[in-house]
Amino acid sequence: MSGGKLWVTAGLAVMINGSSLLGIGQNSVGGVARNIECRHEIAQAIAVARAQKVVAGNRPERVGYSV
């Protein structure tokens, strides 16, 4: 990599990740990906909790019993 391209790459890396490295915000791609993953896990946990509430009021099924 030539000197000019190296400085451009370094400058872009600092602009993209600088605020994240300083702890100011989540502007990097990694921060955005972690945020999306966390929201997905929260949504899944809410869906599981709602499903368990519905099942909690029903009697368990009999094993080996068919109608």
Residue 45 lies in a domain: yes
Which conformational region is residue 23 in: left (phi greater than 0), alpha (psi within -120 to 50 degrees), or beta?
left
Query: What does the buried/exposed string (b/e) look like for 9-32 if buried means 16 or more CB atoms within 10 Å of the residue's CB?
Result: eeeeeeeeeeebeeeeeeebeeee
Residue 66 lies in a domain: no
Question: What are the mean pLDDT values of the chain's consecutive 10-residue runs (67 residues total)?
Answer: 84 78 65 82 91 74 65
Residue 17 lies in a domain: yes
Residue 67 lies in a domain: no
pLDDT on residue 45: 93
pLDDT on residue 16: 77
Residue 8 DSSP symbol: H
pLDDT on residue 35: 80
